[in-house]
Structure 1
Amino acid sequence: MAQRTGTSLPLVPAAAFVLVWSSGYISGPAAVHAAAPFSVLGWRFVLAAVLAVGLALALRRPSRMDRATLGRVAAVGLVMNGLQFGLMYVAFDFGLGATLASLFHALSPVLTALLAAALLGERVSAVQVVGFVVGVAGVLLVLGSDLGHAGGPVAVLVGCVSMLTLSLGTLGQRWIGAQPDLLWSAAVQFAVSAPPLLVLGWTTEGAWPVTDGRQALVAVLFLAIVNSIVGLVLLSLLVLRGGSGAAASLFFLSPPVTAVLAWLVLDETLSPAQLVGLVVAVVGVGAATRTRRPASPLPVQDVGTQ
């Protein structure tokens, strides 16, 4: 799949992607309020895998992957989907707020650049380092001195580890080497993530860990159709039109959009000091991601799906 290295993005798909991505931080907490996190994710990925395969077949996308590439795609999928989302949904279950979760993941593209510098010897700019530091400072302002409103220390710690696994998974995409078809790659990654999550859910959460069947069903459908599939299609379009660097730069818009959605849907509110922290974090992440060099764009999958 050819990729451009420009920075211009079509307005409507870009706005739709930010809204879809941000909505995942609303549907996630809503899902774990209605059912246990591992079971929710397991069924989400089952449905997303079926939809991705159906769409790939309908569009006649090339499905050929050699055995080595298939294994690498599957391994990265377990990290990007099973581990990263599993941790974040556990954090939701502990009480981590939607806005904070969005802030953690918004920092991930910058953390990925820093990890690439430390582990792979890639160059990193001073602005990226400063942007990450400013972003972390903003997150700390949002957290404040009392972590109780954020779900407690465990929720915050698990959310941070989820951010780390997202960055490591992003680096893992480079290990794949080849660039298989986006839809088939996503279908494989969804499919390999579902069984371990369902088994983990069955053994730790019970056979039917549902407290609100209707809400759980709506949340799983929304997560699979909108966040997994529609988000993937929009992201692919944006990368094709503007390059992966430009697409990744949109992630700094997610926290403020998530904060508004969380206020409207989940009744989450931020104090004046937390609002200041949100602005500081967004400025830091925005500065760091917008200065990333487009000379070596990442594969589409590196940006991730919500």
Structure 2
Amino acid sequence: MTRPPRAAHLPLVPAVAFVLVWSSGYISGPAAVQAAAPFTVLGWRFALAAVLAVALSLALRRPTRMDRATVTRVAAVGLMMNAVQFGLMYVAFDLGLGATLASLFHALSPVLTALLAAAILGERVSLLQVGGFVVGVLGVLLVLGGDLGRAGGPAAVLIGCLSMLTLSLGTLGQRWIGAQPDLLWSAAVQFAVSAPPLLVLGWTTEGAWPVTDGRQALVAVLFLAIVNSIVGLVLLSLLVLRGGSGAAASLFFLSPPVTAVLAWVVLDETLSVLQLVGLLVAVVGVGAATRTRTAAIPPAG
């Protein structure tokens, strides 16, 4: 069997750009919930992202290639990947979960997806993948330390873990789609179905205008929709096309340290020496696990 391409075979500029874009999502997310309530800001983000994805698909004349059954499956997976997964993570942000810790949770997702595929679908999993996941979890525990209050409290940590789990389940759900619909049209459908329930949930639980800083909310939503959703999607598709999903997945272990630097610069987040050690341990574990064989990768968000 041919070995899957590794990250070294990926085009350098798109790979660096993707890591920066992916990591920046953990900065723009907390910034957004500082200015507006989480469900409302996510509803705005996905509504705008859906419009942009449709416009881009039409401009590029992308083929739909989706029958009714495929659209239904794409939409169902999109609700899990976007509305549920991001809804949970943004609530965790609102409770005080830090950007670096959130990035660590999601960096573990490709490895957790492989383990879930082994448990649910009977796929093979290597000992190095299992060991890498264990080491990654130990690193996360070191970052957490003994004071959960600094991470937003037990509720924020638990909700962050649930976000990681739903991300992995949603990634597995991509296989349930069966067909291979166009990436842009698929994203447009998934963005479109995610916006209404989040907007309704925001309206009923957060009020009609839960905004404390209109300017920051506007900038955050535009950045989330344009950069994190659309640009991230385009970069990820380019990397998968050029290097394969396994090579693209091997980049995700770079996100936590890049996020830590961005969080320090933008959000004034700091890590203790023990947390820095935990970050290094987690990155090593995830890096080893995602470079052993092709891993499923979550969508750019």
Q: What interval of TM-score do these two structures reach, taking the shorter chain for normalisation?
A: over 0.9
Q: Report the Cα offset of residue 63 of structure 1.
A: 1.3
Q: Structure 2 CA distance, aligned partners of 1:220 and 1:249?
A: 28
Task: Determine if contact 2:167/2:298 at 8 Å carries over to the other structure.
Answer: no
Q: Report what 2:55 is aligned to.
A: 54
Give SS of 2:179's match.
Answer: coil
Q: Does the Cα contact within 8 Å between 2:77 and 2:174 map onto a contact in 1?
A: yes
Aligned to 1:212: 213
Offset, 1:303: 2.7
Match of residue 30 from structure 1? 31
Paired residue for 1:304? 299
Q: How do 1:36-75 residues align onto structure 2 when only pairs under 5 Å count?
A: 36-75=37-76
* Deviations, residues 119-166 of structure 1 (Å, cap 9, x unaligned): 000000000000000000000000001101000000000000000000
| Residues 178-211 of structure 1 deviation map (CA, whole Å, 9 limit, x = unaligned) | 0100000000000000000000000000000000
Gaps of 5+ in 2: none
Residue 164 of structure 2 corresponds to 163
* Paired residues of 2:22 and 2:232 also in contact (CA < 8 A): yes
Name the SS for the 2:66 alignment partner: coil
Structural mapping, 1:131-150, within 5 Å: 131-150=132-151
Question: How far apart, in 1, do the equivalents of 2:15 and 2:176 lie?
Answer: 28
Other-structure match for 1:6 = 5
Mapped to 2, the partners of 1:304 and 1:10 lie a distance apart of 19
1:70-219 equivalences in 2 (<5 Å) = 70-219=71-220
Letter in 1 for 2:164: M
Instruction: Tell me if the contact between 1:20 and 1:231 (Cα under 8 Å) persists in the aligned partners.
Output: yes
Q: Which residue of 1 aligns with 2:235?
A: 234
8 A contact 1:76–1:189 mirrored in 2: yes
Q: What is the identity, as a one-letter code, of the residue corresponding to 1:18?
A: V
Deviation of residue 71 (structure 1)?
Answer: 0.3
Q: In the alignment, residue 253 of structure 2 is paired with which amino acid?
A: F
Question: Which amino acid in structure 1 is aligned with residue 232 of structure 2?
Answer: G
Q: Which runs of 5+ in 1 are unaligned?
A: none
Paired position in structure 1 for 2:276: 275
State the TM-score, normalized to the length of structure 2. Answer: 0.97
Q: Which residue of 1 aligns with 2:254?
A: 253
Distance 1:175 1:141 in 2: 36
Q: What amino acid does structure 2 have at the position aligned with 1:162?
A: S
Identity %: 87
Q: Do the aligned residues in 1 keep the contact of 2:168 with 2:298 (CA within 8 Å)?
A: no
Letter in 2 for 1:57: L
Q: Distance in 2 between matches of 1:248 and 1:216?
A: 31
* C-alpha deviation, 1:6, in angstroms: 2.3
Equivalenced residues, count: 297
Structure 1: which 4+ aligned runs deviate by more than 3 Å? none
Secondary structure of 1:303 counterpart = coil
Deviation string 1:58-97 (CA, Å, 9 cap, x unpaired) is: 0000013111100000000000000000000000000000
Q: Offset of 1:5 from its aligned partner?
A: 4.3
Report if the CA contact (8 A) 1:65-1:180 is conserved: yes
Q: Distance in 2 between matches of 1:6 and 1:146?
A: 41
Distance 1:179 1:149 in 2: 43
The AA in structure 1 aligned to 2:38 is P
